[in-house]
Structures are given as structure tokens and as C-alpha cells.
A = this chain, B = another copy of it.
């Protein structure tokens, strides 16, 4: 990951592969096939196979850090190995959902951007602008900020109305959506939120979006791409469980290849028309 994967790089990769596909790596010990569990590093070995099965079609990989932190220091050892294993030409997102006061966020930023050296990390906006500034100081790295998430609980706060009639998630978009950061801030917008998509694109016409909620969570690909695509493509669409565990406990290498190809083919149709 030596090169700076800016917005132009992302647009180029999306057009080359005719795909928005980000493969989510969520190594859930209760779901990975039995054969991996005999290994000393089951999370790593399973994720490596998911990567081998998907690297020809994936633009990006999103590593769900929780599934590694679950196992503490042993989990982090596997996380660190996994990042070294990922293809040089993939965009790597640590889905960590961190954020704290400045001197503490600096520590998180140093781990993810200096030591682990991933391209992007996901972040909570709740504590305000200064809480994310230490991440923004890394000009060649991406801060991926939660805006409107894919879960039902997004109605509790994110979709609550502010005094001026806007939603809370729109306050987040305007707080972090300044043009000077278009090349280093993305926003998370769930594919399960079609009603808000066109308004979101009006608020932030130029920013890249990271889109969870396709697959297991039920979001629709056509609506999502139709509503959120912009002139430089502008999105990565994540699929985690739908690719890693397409057949539940009977998942194997071939079924992962097939699931990834099927998402890839479905996306390709939006480039051929």
C-alpha cells in the first residue's frame, strides 16, 4: 500500500473493473467452515481464502476489526498478517468505527494509518470535528465517517429532525462535507435507506460513499447505484456475509468465488448500457 489511493485512483479502478465491489472480511468463528477451525490462525486462514477467491473482482476490502479484536492480542496478530497479505492494488478499509478526544484519536490514527498502513478507517462523528482531526491530518488516507447507517436503529438519532428541519445525518454531512476534504473523506450510507439517497447526493455531490446493506441486509443494487452514482462513480458497495458465507456452514472456496462473481456481474451491467 505504498501509493496514495486518492479519488482519481478509485474512479480509475472502478471503471477498469466495471465494478463497485468492496468485499467485507468478517471472520465470524461461528460461521466459518469447520476445516479452518483446526488452524492456529483460523481468522487469518479463512480471510486469506476469501481474498484469493475474490481478488480478481474486488476493488476494495473492508476488514471488520471487531471480529479480530474479539480474540484480543491473538486476533490483532492475525489482523496484521492479513493486511500484509492483501493485494497491493486493492483499497483497504479498516472498519473500526473509532473516535475519541483529540489526543486519543491521534493514537488510533497512528495505529491504522502509520503502523497498519491501511488506506481508510471508519469513524463515529458524534463527538464533533475536533475528535476526527487527527485522522484528517493524514492527507493521503481516508476518513470514512458514519452518516446514515443500514441498521433499524438509524431512526433513533441519525434520522431525528434538527431545529432547522434537517436530519442529524445531514448535519454530519455538512460538518464534514467541505470541498477541501473531498479527496480524504467518505461517508457511510446504508443501501437500506433508499428514501434518503437522492437528497444525500444533493448535499454532497462530490464525495465518495461507502455503502453497506446490500446482500444479507436487503438493500437493492439498482436503486442504490441509480440514486448515488456521480460523475466520478462515487461509491464502493460492500458485501460481507453474502460473499463470505453464501451457503452458511457449507460454504467452500467455490461458493465464495461464485457469490463474488455474481455480485460482480450484477454490477457490470451498470457499465455496459
User: A-side interface residues toward B, CB under 8 Å?
Assistant: 26, 28, 64, 66-67, 69-77, 79-80, 95, 97-105, 107-108, 110-111, 115-116, 124-131, 146, 149-158, 160-163, 165, 168, 171-172, 175
A97 to chain B, nearest CB (A): 5
Which residues of B are found within 8 Å of A98, using beta-carbon distances? 66, 97
A150 to chain B: closest residue by CB: B101
A84 to B76, CA, bound (A): 19
B69 close to A107 (CB less than 8 A): yes
A-B contacts, 25 listed (Cβ < 8 Å): A26-B103, A66-B98, A66-B100, A66-B107, A66-B111, A69-B76, A69-B107, A70-B108, A71-B111, A97-B98, A124-B124, A126-B146, A126-B158, A128-B153, A128-B156, A128-B157, A128-B158, A129-B153, A131-B149, A160-B162, A160-B171, A161-B163, A162-B162, A163-B163, A168-B168
A124 close to B102 (CB less than 8 A): no
A73 to B155, CA, bound (A): 36
Which residues of B are found within 8 Å of A80, using beta-carbon distances? 72-73
Given A97-B99, A98-B97, A104-B26, is A126 in contact with B70 using a C-beta cutoff of 8 Å?
Answer: no
Q: A26-B103, A28-B107 are in contact. List 13 more A-B contacts (CB 8 A).
A: A67-B104, A69-B76, A70-B108, A70-B115, A72-B79, A72-B111, A73-B74, A73-B80, A126-B126, A128-B153, A160-B162, A160-B171, A161-B163
Given A124-B97, A157-B175, A160-B171, is A111 in contact with B150 using a C-beta cutoff of 8 Å?
Answer: no
Given A76-B76, A97-B98, A99-B124, is A64 in contact with B104 using a C-beta cutoff of 8 Å?
Answer: yes
A38 to chain B, nearest CB (A): 21
A125 to B153, CA, bound (A): 10
A216 to chain B, nearest CB (A): 9
A36 to B161, CA, bound (A): 51
A66 to B146, CA, bound (A): 20
B126 close to A72 (CB less than 8 A): no
A112 to chain B: closest residue by CB: B69
Contact of A126 among B104, B124, B163 (CB under 8 A): B124
B69 close to A108 (CB less than 8 A): yes
A64 to B99, CA, bound (A): 12
Which residues of B are found within 8 Å of A75, using beta-carbon distances? 76
A188 to chain B: closest residue by CB: B127
B73 close to A125 (CB less than 8 A): no
A100 to B94, CA, bound (A): 13
A150 to chain B, nearest CB (A): 7
A161 close to B158 (CB less than 8 A): no
Which residues of B are found within 8 Å of A126, using beta-carbon distances? 124-126, 146, 157-158
